[in-house]
Structure 1
Amino acid sequence: MNAMFPVEDCLTPSNGAAVVGDGAHSYAPVESVLRALEVLKHLNMLRVATVTELHKITGIAKPTVVRMLETLITAGYVTRDKAFGGYRITANVQNLSDGYFGAPMVIEAAHPYALELTQRIKWGVGVGMLEGQFMRLQFTTARYSPWAMPMTHLRMRLDLFTSAMGRAYLAFCPDYEREALIDAQLVRITPSKRAESRRQIGRVIDDIRNQGYARKVRSREHSSTETISVAIRNDGLVLGCLALGYFRNAVPESEVAQRLAEPLQVTAHAIEAAIAENYGNMTRTPMGQNRN
Protein backbone atom coordinates (compact mmCIF):
# COMPACT_ATOMS: atom_id res chain seq x y z
CA MET A 1 0.00 0.00 0.00
CA ASN A 2 1.74 3.16 -1.19
CA ALA A 3 -0.90 5.82 -0.67
CA MET A 4 0.38 8.71 1.40
CA PHE A 5 -1.37 9.47 4.65
CA PRO A 6 -3.40 12.60 3.83
CA VAL A 7 -1.82 14.91 6.36
CA GLU A 8 0.59 17.74 5.79
CA ASP A 9 4.26 16.90 6.21
CA CYS A 10 5.87 18.24 9.35
CA LEU A 11 8.97 17.98 9.29
CA THR A 12 14.79 18.44 35.86
CA PRO A 13 17.76 19.55 37.37
CA SER A 14 20.26 16.87 38.47
CA ASN A 15 20.47 15.60 42.01
CA GLY A 16 24.24 15.14 41.90
CA ALA A 17 25.63 18.06 43.88
CA ALA A 18 24.33 19.76 46.98
CA VAL A 19 23.60 23.45 46.53
CA VAL A 20 23.35 26.30 48.98
CA GLY A 21 20.98 29.22 48.93
CA ASP A 22 22.92 31.33 46.42
CA GLY A 23 23.14 28.46 43.90
CA ALA A 24 26.83 27.72 44.47
CA HIS A 25 28.02 24.13 44.83
CA SER A 26 28.93 23.20 48.38
CA TYR A 27 31.81 21.08 47.05
CA ALA A 28 34.09 21.47 44.07
CA PRO A 29 33.11 19.04 41.30
CA VAL A 30 35.25 15.96 40.77
CA GLU A 31 36.71 16.60 37.32
CA SER A 32 37.43 12.95 36.55
CA VAL A 33 33.78 12.07 37.17
CA LEU A 34 32.61 14.91 34.93
CA ARG A 35 34.91 13.74 32.14
CA ALA A 36 33.79 10.12 32.50
CA LEU A 37 30.16 11.24 32.26
CA GLU A 38 31.06 13.29 29.19
CA VAL A 39 32.52 10.19 27.54
CA LEU A 40 29.45 8.14 28.48
CA LYS A 41 27.11 10.84 27.16
CA HIS A 42 28.78 11.00 23.76
CA LEU A 43 29.05 7.22 23.52
CA ASN A 44 25.31 7.06 24.13
CA MET A 45 24.69 9.58 21.34
CA LEU A 46 27.00 7.86 18.85
CA ARG A 47 25.80 4.31 19.73
CA VAL A 48 29.18 2.92 18.64
CA ALA A 49 32.40 4.92 18.87
CA THR A 50 36.17 4.46 18.79
CA VAL A 51 38.68 5.96 21.19
CA THR A 52 39.76 8.39 18.47
CA GLU A 53 36.19 9.57 17.87
CA LEU A 54 35.59 10.13 21.58
CA HIS A 55 38.92 11.94 21.88
CA LYS A 56 38.02 14.32 19.04
CA ILE A 57 34.56 15.06 20.40
CA THR A 58 35.47 15.50 24.07
CA GLY A 59 39.02 16.82 23.80
CA ILE A 60 40.05 14.30 26.44
CA ALA A 61 43.45 12.66 25.89
CA LYS A 62 43.27 9.19 24.33
CA PRO A 63 44.97 7.38 27.24
CA THR A 64 42.46 8.97 29.60
CA VAL A 65 39.56 8.00 27.33
CA VAL A 66 40.81 4.40 27.35
CA ARG A 67 41.03 4.35 31.16
CA MET A 68 37.52 5.77 31.44
CA LEU A 69 36.12 3.23 28.99
CA GLU A 70 37.84 0.38 30.84
CA THR A 71 36.38 1.67 34.09
CA LEU A 72 32.90 1.89 32.55
CA ILE A 73 33.32 -1.65 31.22
CA THR A 74 34.20 -2.85 34.72
CA ALA A 75 31.09 -1.07 36.02
CA GLY A 76 28.99 -2.80 33.36
CA TYR A 77 27.87 0.32 31.49
CA VAL A 78 30.04 -0.11 28.38
CA THR A 79 31.16 -3.06 26.30
CA ARG A 80 33.57 -3.58 23.43
CA ASP A 81 31.82 -4.13 20.12
CA LYS A 82 34.19 -6.16 17.96
CA ALA A 83 31.71 -6.36 15.08
CA PHE A 84 31.57 -2.57 14.74
CA GLY A 85 35.14 -1.87 15.82
CA GLY A 86 34.53 0.29 18.87
CA TYR A 87 32.65 0.62 22.13
CA ARG A 88 28.95 0.87 22.91
CA ILE A 89 26.78 1.28 25.97
CA THR A 90 24.93 -1.62 27.58
CA ALA A 91 21.42 -1.84 28.93
CA ASN A 92 22.86 -1.35 32.42
CA VAL A 93 22.79 2.41 31.83
CA GLN A 94 19.09 2.04 32.58
CA ASN A 95 20.11 1.71 36.23
CA LEU A 96 21.26 5.33 36.13
CA SER A 97 17.71 6.58 35.72
CA ASP A 98 14.80 5.13 37.68
CA GLY A 99 12.04 4.11 35.32
CA TYR A 100 13.94 5.35 32.26
CA PHE A 101 12.76 3.94 28.95
CA GLY A 102 15.07 4.36 25.99
CA ALA A 103 16.98 2.89 23.10
CA PRO A 104 19.86 0.99 24.78
CA MET A 105 18.00 -2.15 25.82
CA VAL A 106 16.11 -2.41 22.53
CA ILE A 107 19.31 -1.97 20.53
CA GLU A 108 21.18 -4.46 22.70
CA ALA A 109 18.46 -7.06 22.16
CA ALA A 110 18.18 -6.33 18.43
CA HIS A 111 21.90 -6.15 17.67
CA PRO A 112 22.77 -9.83 17.08
CA TYR A 113 19.51 -10.64 15.28
CA ALA A 114 19.69 -7.63 12.96
CA LEU A 115 23.31 -8.39 12.12
CA GLU A 116 22.51 -12.05 11.42
CA LEU A 117 19.65 -11.05 9.12
CA THR A 118 21.87 -8.73 7.09
CA GLN A 119 24.57 -11.39 6.81
CA ARG A 120 21.94 -13.83 5.57
CA ILE A 121 19.93 -11.73 3.11
CA LYS A 122 22.59 -9.04 2.43
CA TRP A 123 20.26 -6.05 2.79
CA GLY A 124 20.84 -3.56 5.57
CA VAL A 125 18.30 -3.31 8.38
CA GLY A 126 17.72 -0.65 11.01
CA VAL A 127 15.96 -0.10 14.31
CA GLY A 128 13.98 3.08 14.85
CA MET A 129 12.18 4.42 17.89
CA LEU A 130 9.53 7.04 18.46
CA GLU A 131 10.85 10.46 19.38
CA GLY A 132 8.08 13.01 19.74
CA GLN A 133 6.21 13.17 16.44
CA PHE A 134 8.92 11.39 14.44
CA MET A 135 10.84 8.14 14.31
CA ARG A 136 14.57 8.24 14.94
CA LEU A 137 16.97 5.68 13.41
CA GLN A 138 18.89 4.34 16.40
CA PHE A 139 20.78 1.41 14.91
CA THR A 140 21.67 0.18 11.43
CA THR A 141 23.60 -2.68 9.85
CA ALA A 142 24.05 -0.75 6.59
CA ARG A 143 27.84 -0.99 6.74
CA TYR A 144 27.56 -4.78 6.51
CA SER A 145 25.45 -4.74 3.37
CA PRO A 146 27.22 -4.96 0.00
CA TRP A 147 24.79 -2.40 -1.38
CA ALA A 148 24.84 1.30 -0.56
CA MET A 149 21.36 2.51 0.30
CA PRO A 150 20.29 6.13 0.75
CA MET A 151 19.26 7.59 4.09
CA THR A 152 20.96 5.10 6.38
CA HIS A 153 22.86 7.37 8.78
CA LEU A 154 22.30 7.00 12.50
CA ARG A 155 20.00 9.45 14.26
CA MET A 156 18.26 10.45 11.04
CA ARG A 157 14.69 11.61 11.60
CA LEU A 158 11.91 9.76 9.77
CA ASP A 159 8.42 11.07 9.15
CA LEU A 160 5.76 9.27 11.14
CA PHE A 161 3.23 9.23 8.30
CA THR A 162 5.37 8.63 5.21
CA SER A 163 8.28 6.43 6.35
CA ALA A 164 7.93 2.66 6.61
CA MET A 165 8.98 2.76 10.27
CA GLY A 166 6.50 5.48 11.13
CA ARG A 167 3.63 3.76 9.38
CA ALA A 168 4.45 0.43 11.06
CA TYR A 169 4.50 2.18 14.42
CA LEU A 170 1.10 3.79 13.82
CA ALA A 171 -0.44 0.55 12.60
CA PHE A 172 0.60 -1.59 15.56
CA CYS A 173 0.74 0.75 18.55
CA PRO A 174 -2.22 0.82 21.01
CA ASP A 175 -5.36 2.63 19.85
CA TYR A 176 -5.07 5.39 22.43
CA GLU A 177 -1.49 6.14 21.41
CA ARG A 178 -2.35 6.14 17.71
CA GLU A 179 -5.20 8.57 18.28
CA ALA A 180 -2.91 10.94 20.17
CA LEU A 181 -0.31 10.84 17.40
CA ILE A 182 -2.89 11.34 14.66
CA ASP A 183 -4.59 14.18 16.53
CA ALA A 184 -1.25 15.96 16.85
CA GLN A 185 -0.85 15.79 13.06
CA LEU A 186 -4.42 16.61 12.05
CA VAL A 187 -4.35 19.85 13.98
CA ARG A 188 -2.00 21.10 11.26
CA ILE A 189 -4.61 20.85 8.50
CA THR A 190 -7.88 22.69 8.00
CA PRO A 191 -10.79 21.42 10.13
CA SER A 192 -12.94 20.66 7.08
CA LYS A 193 -10.41 18.05 5.88
CA ARG A 194 -9.79 16.29 9.18
CA ALA A 195 -12.67 13.82 9.11
CA GLU A 196 -11.81 12.54 5.63
CA SER A 197 -8.11 12.47 6.49
CA ARG A 198 -8.83 10.34 9.54
CA ARG A 199 -10.88 7.89 7.44
CA GLN A 200 -8.12 7.59 4.86
CA ILE A 201 -5.51 7.05 7.56
CA GLY A 202 -7.70 4.32 9.01
CA ARG A 203 -7.91 2.54 5.66
CA VAL A 204 -4.13 2.63 5.21
CA ILE A 205 -3.59 1.30 8.74
CA ASP A 206 -6.02 -1.54 8.07
CA ASP A 207 -4.07 -2.46 4.93
CA ILE A 208 -0.78 -2.47 6.84
CA ARG A 209 -2.21 -4.68 9.57
CA ASN A 210 -3.62 -7.13 7.05
CA GLN A 211 -0.31 -7.26 5.20
CA GLY A 212 1.71 -7.57 8.40
CA TYR A 213 4.26 -4.92 7.46
CA ALA A 214 4.42 -1.33 6.24
CA ARG A 215 6.01 0.29 3.21
CA LYS A 216 7.28 3.81 2.84
CA VAL A 217 5.47 6.33 0.65
CA ARG A 218 7.23 6.42 -2.69
CA SER A 219 8.97 9.63 -3.71
CA ARG A 220 10.71 10.82 -6.85
CA GLU A 221 13.92 11.40 -4.92
CA HIS A 222 14.19 7.75 -3.87
CA SER A 223 12.07 6.06 -6.52
CA SER A 224 14.57 3.24 -7.06
CA THR A 225 14.49 2.06 -3.46
CA GLU A 226 11.89 0.54 -1.17
CA THR A 227 11.69 0.17 2.59
CA ILE A 228 9.52 -2.22 4.56
CA SER A 229 9.10 -2.25 8.33
CA VAL A 230 7.57 -4.27 11.15
CA ALA A 231 6.92 -3.41 14.78
CA ILE A 232 8.89 -4.65 17.78
CA ARG A 233 6.33 -5.13 20.54
CA ASN A 234 6.24 -5.90 24.24
CA ASP A 235 3.20 -6.19 26.49
CA GLY A 236 0.91 -4.51 23.96
CA LEU A 237 3.23 -1.58 23.30
CA VAL A 238 5.47 -0.85 20.33
CA LEU A 239 9.05 -0.42 21.55
CA GLY A 240 10.43 0.37 18.12
CA CYS A 241 10.37 -0.75 14.51
CA LEU A 242 12.66 -2.92 12.44
CA ALA A 243 13.08 -1.83 8.82
CA LEU A 244 14.78 -3.23 5.73
CA GLY A 245 15.76 -1.28 2.62
CA TYR A 246 16.32 -2.70 -0.85
CA PHE A 247 16.43 -1.77 -4.53
CA ARG A 248 13.14 -2.39 -6.30
CA ASN A 249 14.77 -3.79 -9.42
CA ALA A 250 16.65 -6.39 -7.34
CA VAL A 251 13.62 -8.10 -5.82
CA PRO A 252 10.48 -8.88 -7.87
CA GLU A 253 7.34 -7.57 -6.20
CA SER A 254 5.88 -11.06 -6.12
CA GLU A 255 8.83 -12.27 -4.01
CA VAL A 256 9.04 -9.43 -1.48
CA ALA A 257 6.78 -11.07 1.10
CA GLN A 258 8.62 -14.40 1.12
CA ARG A 259 12.20 -13.23 0.61
CA LEU A 260 12.19 -10.08 2.74
CA ALA A 261 9.04 -9.46 4.79
CA GLU A 262 8.83 -12.91 6.36
CA PRO A 263 12.49 -12.99 7.48
CA LEU A 264 12.05 -9.46 8.84
CA GLN A 265 9.01 -10.55 10.84
CA VAL A 266 10.81 -13.62 12.18
CA THR A 267 13.71 -11.41 13.27
CA ALA A 268 11.35 -8.98 15.00
CA HIS A 269 9.74 -11.86 16.90
CA ALA A 270 13.18 -13.08 17.99
CA ILE A 271 14.01 -9.60 19.27
CA GLU A 272 10.70 -9.46 21.13
CA ALA A 273 11.45 -12.81 22.76
CA ALA A 274 14.92 -11.65 23.80
CA ILE A 275 13.51 -8.47 25.33
CA ALA A 276 10.83 -10.39 27.22
CA GLU A 277 13.38 -12.89 28.52
CA ASN A 278 15.96 -10.31 29.57
CA TYR A 279 13.78 -7.43 30.74
CA GLY A 280 10.24 -8.73 31.17
CA ASN A 281 7.44 -6.28 30.46
CA MET A 282 8.81 -2.83 29.69
CA THR A 283 6.41 -0.11 30.76
CA ARG A 284 6.05 3.35 29.30
CA THR A 285 3.34 5.77 28.32
CA PRO A 286 2.58 6.85 24.74
CA MET A 287 4.95 9.20 22.92
CA GLY A 288 8.00 7.50 24.44
CA GLN A 289 7.55 8.96 27.94
CA ASN A 290 7.86 7.26 31.32
CA ARG A 291 4.86 5.95 33.20
CA ASN A 292 6.48 6.81 36.51
Structure 2
Amino acid sequence: MSEKTAEIQPIIRALHVLEALNRGSPMALGALHEATGLPKPTLVRLLDTLIAGGYVRRVSRRAGYALGERVLRLSSGFRHADKAVEAARPFLYALTAQHKWPVAISTLDGDSMIVRLSTRHESPFAADEDFLEQRIPLLVSAMGRAYLAFCPEEELETLLSLMRNSKARRNAMARDEKAVARLLSGIRARGYATTAPLRGEPLMGLAVPVMDGAQVVAAMTLRYFRSAMTEEEAARRYLAPMQEAARAIGAGLG
Protein backbone atom coordinates (compact mmCIF):
# COMPACT_ATOMS: atom_id res chain seq x y z
CA MET A 1 0.00 0.00 0.00
CA SER A 2 1.40 3.39 -0.97
CA GLU A 3 1.87 6.16 1.59
CA LYS A 4 -0.88 8.20 -0.09
CA THR A 5 -3.33 5.28 0.01
CA ALA A 6 -2.53 4.68 3.67
CA GLU A 7 -3.37 8.31 4.44
CA ILE A 8 -6.68 8.19 2.57
CA GLN A 9 -8.02 4.90 3.97
CA PRO A 10 -8.99 6.20 7.45
CA ILE A 11 -10.90 9.08 5.86
CA ILE A 12 -12.80 6.74 3.53
CA ARG A 13 -13.59 4.40 6.42
CA ALA A 14 -14.86 7.26 8.55
CA LEU A 15 -17.15 8.35 5.71
CA HIS A 16 -18.46 4.79 5.40
CA VAL A 17 -19.30 4.87 9.10
CA LEU A 18 -21.20 8.15 8.66
CA GLU A 19 -23.07 6.72 5.67
CA ALA A 20 -24.07 3.64 7.69
CA LEU A 21 -25.29 5.79 10.59
CA ASN A 22 -27.20 7.97 8.15
CA ARG A 23 -29.11 4.89 7.00
CA GLY A 24 -29.86 3.46 10.44
CA SER A 25 -28.98 5.81 13.31
CA PRO A 26 -28.69 4.83 16.12
CA MET A 27 -26.68 1.64 15.59
CA ALA A 28 -24.88 -0.68 17.98
CA LEU A 29 -21.25 -1.56 17.34
CA GLY A 30 -22.19 -5.01 16.05
CA ALA A 31 -24.65 -3.55 13.54
CA LEU A 32 -22.03 -1.07 12.33
CA HIS A 33 -19.57 -3.94 11.93
CA GLU A 34 -22.07 -5.79 9.72
CA ALA A 35 -22.95 -2.67 7.72
CA THR A 36 -19.39 -1.53 7.02
CA GLY A 37 -17.37 -4.74 7.17
CA LEU A 38 -14.80 -2.95 9.32
CA PRO A 39 -13.19 -4.72 12.30
CA LYS A 40 -14.65 -3.68 15.65
CA PRO A 41 -11.34 -2.29 17.03
CA THR A 42 -11.06 -0.12 13.89
CA LEU A 43 -14.66 1.01 14.29
CA VAL A 44 -14.09 1.98 17.93
CA ARG A 45 -11.09 4.15 16.96
CA LEU A 46 -13.02 5.81 14.13
CA LEU A 47 -16.07 6.38 16.32
CA ASP A 48 -13.98 7.94 19.07
CA THR A 49 -12.45 10.31 16.51
CA LEU A 50 -15.87 11.22 15.07
CA ILE A 51 -17.28 11.75 18.56
CA ALA A 52 -14.41 14.08 19.40
CA GLY A 53 -15.19 16.06 16.24
CA GLY A 54 -18.91 16.28 17.02
CA TYR A 55 -20.00 14.19 14.01
CA VAL A 56 -21.15 11.21 16.08
CA ARG A 57 -22.53 10.85 19.60
CA ARG A 58 -22.72 7.82 21.89
CA VAL A 59 -26.35 7.18 22.82
CA SER A 60 -25.90 4.30 25.29
CA ARG A 61 -24.11 0.97 25.59
CA ARG A 62 -27.16 -0.85 24.28
CA ALA A 63 -28.37 1.58 21.58
CA GLY A 64 -24.88 2.36 20.33
CA TYR A 65 -24.09 5.41 18.23
CA ALA A 66 -26.00 8.13 16.39
CA LEU A 67 -25.13 11.04 14.13
CA GLY A 68 -24.13 14.27 15.80
CA GLU A 69 -25.44 17.71 14.89
CA ARG A 70 -22.16 18.69 13.22
CA VAL A 71 -22.89 16.41 10.24
CA LEU A 72 -25.42 19.02 9.09
CA ARG A 73 -22.46 21.19 8.10
CA LEU A 74 -21.41 18.57 5.56
CA SER A 75 -24.50 19.18 3.45
CA SER A 76 -25.07 22.90 3.96
CA GLY A 77 -23.39 23.73 0.65
CA PHE A 78 -25.31 21.09 -1.27
CA ARG A 79 -28.42 22.78 -2.67
CA HIS A 80 -31.70 21.14 -3.59
CA ALA A 81 -30.92 21.86 -7.24
CA ASP A 82 -27.63 19.96 -6.89
CA LYS A 83 -29.60 16.95 -5.68
CA ALA A 84 -31.81 17.19 -8.76
CA VAL A 85 -28.77 17.13 -11.05
CA GLU A 86 -27.39 14.01 -9.40
CA ALA A 87 -30.81 12.35 -9.48
CA ALA A 88 -31.07 13.17 -13.20
CA ARG A 89 -27.77 11.56 -14.20
CA PRO A 90 -29.02 8.01 -14.99
CA PHE A 91 -32.12 9.33 -16.76
CA LEU A 92 -30.13 11.65 -19.04
CA TYR A 93 -27.76 8.88 -20.05
CA ALA A 94 -30.67 6.49 -20.59
CA LEU A 95 -32.38 9.00 -22.90
CA THR A 96 -29.24 9.42 -24.99
CA ALA A 97 -28.62 5.67 -25.07
CA GLN A 98 -32.13 5.10 -26.41
CA HIS A 99 -32.61 8.12 -28.69
CA LYS A 100 -28.96 9.04 -29.51
CA TRP A 101 -29.43 12.82 -29.23
CA PRO A 102 -27.49 14.72 -26.52
CA VAL A 103 -29.46 15.66 -23.41
CA ALA A 104 -28.54 18.27 -20.79
CA ILE A 105 -29.86 19.58 -17.48
CA SER A 106 -29.45 23.08 -16.08
CA THR A 107 -30.34 24.97 -12.92
CA LEU A 108 -31.18 28.62 -12.27
CA ASP A 109 -28.43 31.11 -11.47
CA GLY A 110 -29.66 34.71 -11.22
CA ASP A 111 -31.06 35.73 -14.61
CA SER A 112 -29.53 32.72 -16.40
CA MET A 113 -29.44 28.95 -16.43
CA ILE A 114 -26.21 27.06 -15.86
CA VAL A 115 -25.67 23.78 -17.70
CA ARG A 116 -24.80 21.29 -14.97
CA LEU A 117 -24.67 17.97 -16.81
CA SER A 118 -24.64 16.93 -20.46
CA THR A 119 -24.47 13.66 -22.39
CA ARG A 120 -22.90 15.26 -25.48
CA HIS A 121 -19.85 12.98 -25.22
CA GLU A 122 -22.15 9.95 -25.36
CA SER A 123 -24.10 11.10 -28.43
CA PRO A 124 -23.10 10.35 -32.02
CA PHE A 125 -25.03 13.47 -33.09
CA ALA A 126 -23.49 16.05 -30.74
CA ALA A 127 -22.50 19.18 -32.65
CA ASP A 128 -22.68 21.80 -29.88
CA GLU A 129 -19.64 23.18 -28.17
CA ASP A 130 -19.27 22.11 -24.57
CA PHE A 131 -21.58 24.41 -22.56
CA LEU A 132 -20.97 22.66 -19.24
CA GLU A 133 -20.99 25.16 -16.34
CA GLN A 134 -21.72 28.02 -18.74
CA ARG A 135 -24.53 30.54 -18.26
CA ILE A 136 -27.26 30.57 -20.89
CA PRO A 137 -30.03 33.20 -21.27
CA LEU A 138 -33.47 32.51 -19.83
CA LEU A 139 -35.51 33.96 -22.69
CA VAL A 140 -33.37 32.56 -25.51
CA SER A 141 -32.62 29.00 -24.42
CA ALA A 142 -35.19 26.22 -24.37
CA MET A 143 -34.28 25.31 -20.79
CA GLY A 144 -34.61 28.91 -19.62
CA ARG A 145 -37.98 29.27 -21.26
CA ALA A 146 -39.18 26.00 -19.71
CA TYR A 147 -38.10 27.22 -16.29
CA LEU A 148 -39.88 30.55 -16.66
CA ALA A 149 -43.09 29.03 -17.98
CA PHE A 150 -43.56 26.64 -15.07
CA CYS A 151 -42.06 28.43 -12.06
CA PRO A 152 -44.41 30.01 -9.45
CA GLU A 153 -45.87 33.42 -10.34
CA GLU A 154 -43.94 35.32 -7.67
CA GLU A 155 -40.63 33.85 -8.81
CA LEU A 156 -41.50 34.58 -12.44
CA GLU A 157 -42.16 38.24 -11.68
CA THR A 158 -38.86 38.53 -9.82
CA LEU A 159 -36.93 37.00 -12.72
CA LEU A 160 -38.67 39.17 -15.32
CA SER A 161 -37.97 42.26 -13.22
CA LEU A 162 -34.28 41.32 -13.09
CA MET A 163 -34.17 40.99 -16.86
CA ARG A 164 -36.15 44.17 -17.56
CA ASN A 165 -33.64 46.15 -15.50
CA SER A 166 -30.68 44.47 -17.15
CA LYS A 167 -28.70 46.18 -19.90
CA ALA A 168 -27.67 42.85 -21.39
CA ARG A 169 -28.88 42.44 -24.97
CA ARG A 170 -29.96 38.86 -24.31
CA ASN A 171 -32.57 40.15 -21.83
CA ALA A 172 -34.09 42.79 -24.11
CA MET A 173 -37.20 40.70 -24.85
CA ALA A 174 -38.22 40.89 -21.17
CA ARG A 175 -39.28 44.50 -21.68
CA ASP A 176 -41.99 43.39 -24.14
CA GLU A 177 -44.45 42.13 -21.54
CA LYS A 178 -47.12 41.04 -24.03
CA ALA A 179 -44.64 39.03 -26.13
CA VAL A 180 -43.30 37.29 -23.02
CA ALA A 181 -46.81 36.49 -21.80
CA ARG A 182 -47.73 34.95 -25.19
CA LEU A 183 -44.49 32.95 -25.27
CA LEU A 184 -44.92 31.48 -21.80
CA SER A 185 -48.62 30.79 -22.27
CA GLY A 186 -47.85 28.78 -25.40
CA ILE A 187 -45.16 26.79 -23.61
CA ARG A 188 -47.55 25.91 -20.79
CA ALA A 189 -50.18 24.80 -23.28
CA ARG A 190 -47.73 22.56 -25.20
CA GLY A 191 -45.90 21.29 -22.13
CA TYR A 192 -42.47 22.05 -23.57
CA ALA A 193 -40.23 24.90 -24.71
CA THR A 194 -37.96 25.31 -27.72
CA THR A 195 -34.88 27.38 -28.45
CA ALA A 196 -35.42 30.89 -29.81
CA PRO A 197 -34.87 30.84 -33.58
CA LEU A 198 -31.36 32.09 -34.32
CA ARG A 199 -30.07 32.74 -37.83
CA GLY A 200 -27.48 30.16 -38.86
CA GLU A 201 -28.05 27.95 -35.80
CA PRO A 202 -28.49 24.33 -37.01
CA LEU A 203 -29.58 22.93 -33.65
CA MET A 204 -32.85 23.13 -31.75
CA GLY A 205 -33.57 22.35 -28.10
CA LEU A 206 -36.72 20.66 -26.80
CA ALA A 207 -36.96 21.34 -23.05
CA VAL A 208 -39.18 20.38 -20.11
CA PRO A 209 -39.09 21.46 -16.46
CA VAL A 210 -38.09 19.21 -13.58
CA MET A 211 -40.59 19.84 -10.80
CA ASP A 212 -40.58 19.19 -7.08
CA GLY A 213 -44.21 19.84 -6.26
CA ALA A 214 -44.99 23.34 -7.50
CA GLN A 215 -41.34 24.38 -7.61
CA VAL A 216 -39.12 24.11 -10.68
CA VAL A 217 -35.72 22.81 -9.58
CA ALA A 218 -34.14 22.33 -13.02
CA ALA A 219 -34.84 22.08 -16.74
CA MET A 220 -33.67 19.45 -19.19
CA THR A 221 -33.32 19.64 -22.96
CA LEU A 222 -32.77 17.33 -25.89
CA ARG A 223 -30.77 18.89 -28.74
CA TYR A 224 -31.44 17.87 -32.34
CA PHE A 225 -30.71 19.13 -35.87
CA ARG A 226 -33.38 21.37 -37.35
CA SER A 227 -32.77 19.70 -40.70
CA ALA A 228 -33.51 16.25 -39.24
CA MET A 229 -37.11 16.92 -38.18
CA THR A 230 -39.69 19.57 -37.46
CA GLU A 231 -40.52 20.80 -33.97
CA GLU A 232 -43.81 18.90 -34.11
CA GLU A 233 -42.08 15.66 -35.06
CA ALA A 234 -39.47 16.09 -32.33
CA ALA A 235 -42.21 16.64 -29.76
CA ARG A 236 -44.11 13.59 -31.03
CA ARG A 237 -41.02 11.40 -30.70
CA TYR A 238 -39.32 12.71 -27.58
CA LEU A 239 -41.69 14.77 -25.42
CA ALA A 240 -43.29 11.80 -23.65
CA PRO A 241 -40.01 10.08 -22.65
CA MET A 242 -38.55 13.40 -21.53
CA GLN A 243 -41.59 14.22 -19.41
CA GLU A 244 -41.50 10.72 -17.94
CA ALA A 245 -37.83 11.17 -17.02
CA ALA A 246 -38.54 14.61 -15.52
CA ARG A 247 -41.36 13.18 -13.38
CA ALA A 248 -39.11 10.35 -12.17
CA ILE A 249 -36.37 12.80 -11.22
CA GLY A 250 -38.84 15.00 -9.34
CA ALA A 251 -40.36 12.00 -7.55
CA GLY A 252 -36.90 10.94 -6.40
CA LEU A 253 -36.34 14.29 -4.69
CA GLY A 254 -39.06 13.56 -2.19
Same fold (TM over 0.5): yes
Separation of aligned partners in 1, 2:173 and 2:203: 31
Q: Offset at 1:217?
A: 0.9
**Secondary structure of 1:249's match?**
coil
Q: State which drifts further: 142-151 or 202-211.
A: 142-151
CA-to-aligned-CA distance 1:197-237 (integer Å, 9 cap, x gap) = 1111111100111111001112235x211011110011211
State the AA in 2 paired with 1:186: R
Q: Offset at 1:148?
A: 2.1
Separation of aligned partners in 2, 1:262 and 1:99: 34
Which runs of structure 2 are paired with 1:174-185 in the superposition (5 Å)?
174-185=152-163
Look up the match of 2:50. Answer: none
Q: Offset at 1:194?
A: 9.3
Q: Offset at 1:117?
A: 1.0
| TM-score, normalising length: structure 1 | 0.60
Query: Of residues 212, 236, 246 in structure 1, which corresponds to 2:191?
Result: 212
Look up the match of 1:6. Answer: none
* 1:165–1:214 contact (8 Å) kept in structure 2: yes
Look up the match of 2:208. Answer: 230
Q: Offset at 1:248?
A: 1.4
Separation of aligned partners in 1, 2:11 and 2:225: 39
Query: Of residues 101, 105, 112 in structure 1, which corresponds to 2:83?
Result: 105
Q: Which runs of 5+ in 2 are unaligned?
A: 20-70
* 2:139–2:174 contact (8 Å) kept in structure 1: no
| TM-score, normalising length: structure 2 | 0.68
- From the superposition, tell whether residues 65 and 243 of structure 1 become closer, same or farther in structure 2 (CA, over 3 Å): farther
Separation of aligned partners in 2, 1:257 and 1:200: 23
Q: Offset at 1:252?
A: 3.7
* 1:126–1:137 contact (8 Å) kept in structure 2: yes
Q: Which runs of 5+ in 1 are unaligned?
A: 1-60, 77-92, 277-292
* 2:143–2:221 contact (8 Å) kept in structure 1: yes
Higher percent of residues as helix? 2
Which runs of structure 2 are paired with 1:58-77 in the superposition (5 Å)?
63=5, 67=9, 70=12, 74=16, 75-76=18-19
CA-to-aligned-CA distance 1:21-63 (integer Å, 9 cap, x gap) = xxxxxxxxxxxxxxxxxxxxxxxxxxxxxxxxxxxxxxxx975
Look up the match of 2:117. Answer: 139
Look up the match of 1:257. Answer: 235
* 1:170–1:178 contact (8 Å) kept in structure 2: yes
Query: Of residues 125, 131, 135 in structure 2, which corresponds to 1:153?
Result: 131
**Secondary structure of 2:117's match?**
strand
Query: Of residues 168, 185, 192 in structure 1, which corresponds to 2:146?
Result: 168
Separation of aligned partners in 2, 1:70 and 1:182: 46
Which runs of structure 2 are paired with 1:30-109 in the superposition (5 Å)?
63=5, 67=9, 70=12, 74=16, 75-76=18-19, 96-98=74-76, 101-109=79-87
* 1:136–1:158 contact (8 Å) kept in structure 2: yes
* 1:127–1:240 contact (8 Å) kept in structure 2: yes
Structure of higher CA gyration radius: 2
Is 1:197 equivalent to 2:176 in the alignment? yes
Separation of aligned partners in 2, 1:149 and 1:94: 42
